Amino acid sequence: MVARFSVLRRPGRARARSRDQRGAVVVEFALIVPLLLLLVFGILEFGYMMSRDTAIDNAARDGARVASLDGTFSDVCTAVKSELSGSGIPAPTTCNASASTTTANIKIDCIKADGSACAASSTTFDTLSVSGATATVRVSYSYKWITPLISSLFGSTASLDQYTQMRVE
Protein backbone atom coordinates (compact mmCIF):
# COMPACT_ATOMS: atom_id res chain seq x y z
CA MET A 1 0.00 0.00 0.00
CA VAL A 2 1.32 3.39 -0.99
CA ALA A 3 0.91 6.27 1.35
CA ARG A 4 -0.18 9.56 -0.13
CA PHE A 5 0.87 12.81 1.37
CA SER A 6 -1.04 15.94 0.69
CA VAL A 7 0.94 19.04 -0.03
CA LEU A 8 -0.13 22.02 1.94
CA ARG A 9 -0.68 25.11 -0.16
CA ARG A 10 -1.40 28.60 0.79
CA PRO A 11 -4.56 29.79 -0.99
CA GLY A 12 -3.17 33.26 -1.76
CA ARG A 13 -0.08 31.99 -3.63
CA ALA A 14 -2.07 29.93 -6.15
CA ARG A 15 -4.17 32.93 -7.17
CA ALA A 16 -1.14 35.16 -7.59
CA ARG A 17 0.54 32.65 -9.88
CA SER A 18 -2.50 32.25 -12.15
CA ARG A 19 -2.84 36.05 -12.43
CA ASP A 20 0.83 36.36 -13.38
CA GLN A 21 0.52 33.65 -15.99
CA ARG A 22 -2.58 35.25 -17.51
CA GLY A 23 -0.58 38.41 -18.07
CA ALA A 24 2.22 36.44 -19.70
CA VAL A 25 -0.24 34.71 -22.04
CA VAL A 26 -1.61 38.09 -23.19
CA VAL A 27 1.88 39.39 -23.91
CA GLU A 28 2.84 36.24 -25.82
CA PHE A 29 -0.39 36.43 -27.83
CA ALA A 30 0.27 40.08 -28.70
CA LEU A 31 3.74 39.17 -29.95
CA ILE A 32 2.60 36.20 -32.06
CA VAL A 33 -0.59 37.59 -33.67
CA PRO A 34 1.12 39.95 -36.18
CA LEU A 35 3.35 37.14 -37.41
CA LEU A 36 0.41 34.76 -37.66
CA LEU A 37 -1.66 37.33 -39.59
CA LEU A 38 1.24 38.02 -41.94
CA LEU A 39 1.61 34.31 -42.59
CA VAL A 40 -2.12 33.69 -43.19
CA PHE A 41 -2.63 36.74 -45.42
CA GLY A 42 0.62 36.00 -47.25
CA ILE A 43 -0.58 32.49 -48.07
CA LEU A 44 -3.95 33.79 -49.28
CA GLU A 45 -2.38 36.57 -51.32
CA PHE A 46 0.24 34.32 -52.88
CA GLY A 47 -2.39 31.73 -53.82
CA TYR A 48 -4.61 34.35 -55.47
CA MET A 49 -1.65 35.85 -57.32
CA MET A 50 -0.61 32.40 -58.58
CA SER A 51 -4.18 31.87 -59.78
CA ARG A 52 -3.97 35.11 -61.78
CA ASP A 53 -0.56 34.15 -63.13
CA THR A 54 -1.92 30.79 -64.28
CA ALA A 55 -4.86 32.55 -65.96
CA ILE A 56 -2.63 34.85 -68.00
CA ASP A 57 -0.37 31.91 -68.83
CA ASN A 58 -3.39 30.01 -70.16
CA ALA A 59 -4.48 33.05 -72.17
CA ALA A 60 -1.05 33.43 -73.78
CA ARG A 61 -0.88 29.70 -74.54
CA ASP A 62 -4.38 29.66 -76.06
CA GLY A 63 -3.52 32.65 -78.24
CA ALA A 64 -0.30 31.05 -79.46
CA ARG A 65 -2.19 27.81 -80.15
CA VAL A 66 -4.73 29.65 -82.30
CA ALA A 67 -1.90 31.43 -84.15
CA SER A 68 -0.02 28.17 -84.71
CA LEU A 69 -3.09 26.69 -86.38
CA ASP A 70 -3.04 29.47 -89.02
CA GLY A 71 -5.30 31.82 -87.07
CA THR A 72 -5.59 35.44 -88.08
CA PHE A 73 -4.54 38.35 -85.87
CA SER A 74 -8.19 38.93 -85.02
CA ASP A 75 -8.68 35.26 -84.08
CA VAL A 76 -5.63 35.29 -81.80
CA CYS A 77 -6.65 38.55 -80.14
CA THR A 78 -10.21 37.31 -79.59
CA ALA A 79 -8.96 34.01 -78.10
CA VAL A 80 -6.66 35.78 -75.62
CA LYS A 81 -9.28 38.35 -74.62
CA SER A 82 -12.00 35.74 -74.10
CA GLU A 83 -9.66 33.62 -71.96
CA LEU A 84 -8.77 36.64 -69.83
CA SER A 85 -12.40 37.70 -69.47
CA GLY A 86 -13.42 34.17 -68.54
CA SER A 87 -10.85 34.26 -65.72
CA GLY A 88 -12.09 37.58 -64.40
CA ILE A 89 -9.13 39.61 -65.64
CA PRO A 90 -10.11 42.81 -67.45
CA ALA A 91 -9.07 42.42 -71.08
CA PRO A 92 -7.93 45.37 -73.20
CA THR A 93 -10.08 46.56 -76.08
CA THR A 94 -7.27 46.05 -78.62
CA CYS A 95 -4.15 43.95 -78.93
CA ASN A 96 -0.66 45.35 -79.60
CA ALA A 97 -1.77 48.67 -78.08
CA SER A 98 0.37 50.84 -75.85
CA ALA A 99 0.73 49.74 -72.25
CA SER A 100 -2.26 50.17 -69.97
CA THR A 101 -2.18 50.15 -66.19
CA THR A 102 -5.79 49.09 -65.65
CA THR A 103 -5.98 45.96 -67.81
CA ALA A 104 -3.80 43.26 -69.21
CA ASN A 105 -1.64 44.06 -72.22
CA ILE A 106 -1.53 41.69 -75.17
CA LYS A 107 1.33 41.69 -77.67
CA ILE A 108 0.99 39.38 -80.70
CA ASP A 109 4.02 38.96 -82.94
CA CYS A 110 5.99 36.33 -84.85
CA ILE A 111 9.50 35.19 -85.66
CA LYS A 112 10.22 34.40 -89.31
CA ALA A 113 11.47 30.97 -90.35
CA ASP A 114 15.00 32.37 -90.76
CA GLY A 115 14.97 33.55 -87.13
CA SER A 116 14.53 37.27 -87.78
CA ALA A 117 11.85 39.27 -86.00
CA CYS A 118 8.60 40.04 -87.82
CA ALA A 119 7.70 43.21 -85.89
CA ALA A 120 4.14 42.42 -86.89
CA SER A 121 1.20 44.72 -86.42
CA SER A 122 -2.50 43.97 -86.65
CA THR A 123 -2.34 44.51 -90.43
CA THR A 124 0.90 42.62 -91.20
CA PHE A 125 0.63 39.64 -88.84
CA ASP A 126 -1.54 37.57 -91.19
CA THR A 127 0.97 37.82 -94.06
CA LEU A 128 4.11 37.38 -91.92
CA SER A 129 3.02 34.38 -89.83
CA VAL A 130 3.24 31.75 -92.54
CA SER A 131 4.03 28.06 -92.14
CA GLY A 132 7.45 27.61 -90.58
CA ALA A 133 7.35 30.88 -88.66
CA THR A 134 6.89 31.03 -84.90
CA ALA A 135 3.91 32.85 -83.42
CA THR A 136 4.54 34.68 -80.13
CA VAL A 137 2.03 35.98 -77.63
CA ARG A 138 2.95 38.03 -74.57
CA VAL A 139 0.38 38.87 -71.89
CA SER A 140 1.33 41.33 -69.15
CA TYR A 141 -0.82 42.15 -66.15
CA SER A 142 -0.34 44.50 -63.22
CA TYR A 143 -1.63 42.54 -60.22
CA LYS A 144 -3.01 44.64 -57.37
CA TRP A 145 -2.66 43.12 -53.90
CA ILE A 146 -5.99 42.38 -52.24
CA THR A 147 -4.90 42.79 -48.63
CA PRO A 148 -3.66 46.11 -47.26
CA LEU A 149 -1.17 44.33 -45.01
CA ILE A 150 0.71 42.81 -47.95
CA SER A 151 0.50 45.94 -50.10
CA SER A 152 2.00 48.01 -47.30
CA LEU A 153 4.98 45.65 -47.22
CA PHE A 154 5.55 44.96 -50.93
CA GLY A 155 4.11 47.97 -52.78
CA SER A 156 0.69 48.33 -54.37
CA THR A 157 1.20 46.08 -57.43
CA ALA A 158 3.19 43.16 -58.79
CA SER A 159 3.91 42.66 -62.48
CA LEU A 160 2.87 39.33 -63.99
CA ASP A 161 4.19 38.57 -67.48
CA GLN A 162 3.75 35.43 -69.57
CA TYR A 163 5.31 34.73 -72.95
CA THR A 164 4.42 31.81 -75.21
CA GLN A 165 5.65 30.86 -78.66
CA MET A 166 4.54 28.09 -81.00
CA ARG A 167 5.53 27.11 -84.49
CA VAL A 168 2.97 27.96 -87.18
CA GLU A 169 1.82 24.79 -88.97
Distances (CA, A) of 28 to 19, 33, 40, 59: 15, 9, 18, 47
The partner residues of 161 in beta bridges, in order of sequence, read 140
pLDDT in tens, 15-64: 555 666 777 888 888 999 989 988 998 899 999 999 999 999 999 999 99
pLDDT in tens, 134-144: 999 999 999 99
Distances (CA, A) of 2 to 8, 9, 53: 19, 22, 69
- Predicted local confidence at residue 58, as pLDDT: 96
Q: Which of 94-98, 124-128, 161-165 has the lowest mean pLDDT?
A: 94-98
- Predicted local confidence at residue 12, as pLDDT: 54
Phi, psi of 125 (to 5 degrees): -60, -45
In the chain, where are the structural domains located? 20-167
* Amino acid occupying residue 162: Q
Q: In what order do the strands lie in the sheet with 157-167?
A: 105-111, 134-144, 157-167
Residues of the chain above pLDDT 70, percent:
85
Q: Which of 3-17, 82-96, 145-159 has the lowest mean pLDDT?
A: 3-17
**For range 2-9, the mean pLDDT:** 59
- Predicted local confidence at residue 169, as pLDDT: 87
